[in-house]
């Protein structure tokens, strides 16, 4: 009986959690985030300590996708709020930093690697 209760409660909590998923509603409610704003982040970013390495960020199916130059692997970026994202599945933090003109100037991955935006 206790097991059934726990299982039922878990399922209810899980269903609420799925409903509260940031992909569907959370971003919009909390941060007023809109799909159009994603275009601010698109472009080419070079690694500050090695400019041979770069990523190209584009919008794919309404979400940001970063393509790595060295292996062509695509990483999906899940939005949290503001200019903060995480790499889907891997969880690395991705923080877009804006310059004085309020335009995105660079991104910082995992609070360490700095990638400078070089072109739109």
Partner 1 sequence: MYTSLGIVDFIILFLALHGLVLSIVLAYHSRKIRSNYWIAALIFVIAEITLVNEAQQSGYLEAHTRIIPFIPVLRLAVGPMLYFYIRSLVYNKVRLDKKDYWHFLPLVLDMQFLIIAILYISGILAIPSVQQFYFTPAVQRLLFRRSIFLDNLPVLLSLSAYSIACLRMIRSQLAVDSQSAYKLADLKRARNIVYMIIAQTIGLLITVILYTYTYVWSYYIIFIPATIFIYWTGMAIYQRQSHMTAEDVLEYVKPIPKVYFTDEEANTYKSKLIYLMETDKVYLDPSLKMDMLADKLLLTERSVSNLLNHHIGKNFNDFINEYRVEESKRKLVDPACRQFTIAAIGLDCGFNSLATFQRCFKQITGVTPGQYQKLASDPNTTQIMI
- Note the residues at the interface with partner 1 (CB under 8 A): 17-18, 20-22, 26-27, 30-31, 71-76, 78, 80-81, 84, 86-93, 95, 110-112
Q: What's the CA gap between 80 and 94, in Å, rounded? A: 10
Residues 31, 91 contacting (CB under 8 angstroms): no
The three-class DSSP label of residue 95 is strand
DSSP state of 70: T
Least spacing, CB of residue 82 vs partner 1, in Å: 8
Nearest CB to partner 1, comparing residues 20 and 118 = 20
Least spacing, CB of residue 117 vs partner 1, in Å: 19
Nearest CB to partner 1, comparing residues 28 and 39 = 28
Nearest CB to partner 1, comparing residues 37 and 120 = 37
Nearest CB to partner 1, comparing residues 47 and 88 = 88
- Of 98, 91, 62, the residue nearest 75 (C-alpha): 91
DSSP alpha helix (H) spans, the chain: 2-19, 27-31
């Amino acid at each position: 009986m206790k097991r059934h209760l726990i299982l039922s409660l878990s399922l209810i909590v899980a269903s609420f959690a799925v409903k509260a998923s940031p992909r569907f509603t959370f971003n919009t409610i909390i941060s007023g985030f809109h799909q159009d704003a994603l275009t601010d982040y698109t472009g080419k970013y070079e690694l500050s300590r090695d400019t041979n390495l770069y990523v190209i960020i584009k919008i794919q199916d309404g979400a940001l996708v970063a393509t790595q130059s060295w292996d062509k692997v695509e990483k999906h970026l899940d939005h949290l709020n503001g200019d903060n994202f995480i790499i889907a599945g891997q969880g690395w933090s991705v923080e877009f930093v804006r310059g004085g003109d309020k335009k995105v100037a660079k991104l910082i991955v995992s609070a360490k690697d700095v990638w400078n935006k070089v072109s739109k």
